[in-house]
Chain A
Amino acid sequence: EVQLVESGGGLVQPGGSLRLSCAASGFTFSSYWMTWVRHAPGKGLEWVANIKEGGSEKFYVDSVKGRFTISRDNAKNSLFLQMDSLRADDTAVYYCARAEIFASLDYWGQGILVIVSS
């Protein structure tokens, strides 16, 4: 059974940092692109970042470029999102998701809440 479990969320002050983790199981993690998607309160879904299988190719939505860094450890079946210079509008539930056929996101974690507030 495919499972994705996020951790590392919480309350952080504006300008602060947080590192999210996503533990994957039930599939060959190193064979898949992985993504982070967020859902801000009262808003729709927003793709945040993607990393290809080997970890060398990474892509970001413009609003997080230079502040967020996606990475992965294929030996530990883990995905990460380092979030620096956090702003109030980064407040959201963050999901990790697996990219499958035609880049659809077929499995999602349960989500982890990040609140940026003073």
Chain B
Amino acid sequence: EIVLTQSPATLSLSPGERATLSCGASQSITSDYLAWYQQKPGQAPRLLIYGASSRATGIPDRFSGSGSGTDFTLTISRLEPEDSAVYYCQQYDNSRTTWTFGQGTKVEIK
């Protein structure tokens, strides 16, 4: 079973700053099957990035994804107040048809 570890647990930054969120996999995974989600309190998660680097429909271009193998990154280039949320990475294991989420990174806007 692949385990995803996200870091840091919490990120506290000011508007306009750059946020870099990491997602590490316990073994190499296919980039196609790596996604990122944003979840605000009381709301359902929202898909931000699929295939490690493709933005979902309607997602602002300040959100970008990168990485391969065991190391993946979500970057928010210029933080806005509405970006305050928990961000999760997720991988799909094609051989077992299972999904796994990381434990999340909380982004706080000062």
Contact = CB atoms under 8 A, between A and B. Distances in A.
B66 interface: no
A46 B103 CA distance: 9
B42 to A, nearest CB: 9
Interface string A70-95: 00000000000000000000000001
Interface string B20-42: 00000000000011010101000
7 contacts: A35-B99, A37-B45, A45-B88, A102-B33, A106-B47, A106-B50, A108-B46
Contact of B99 (A50, A108, A110): A50
A90 B50 CA distance: 28
Interface of B: 32-33, 35, 37, 39, 44-47, 50-51, 56-57, 86, 88, 90, 92, 94, 96-104
Interface residues of A, number: 23
A102 B51 contact: yes
Nearest to B50: A104
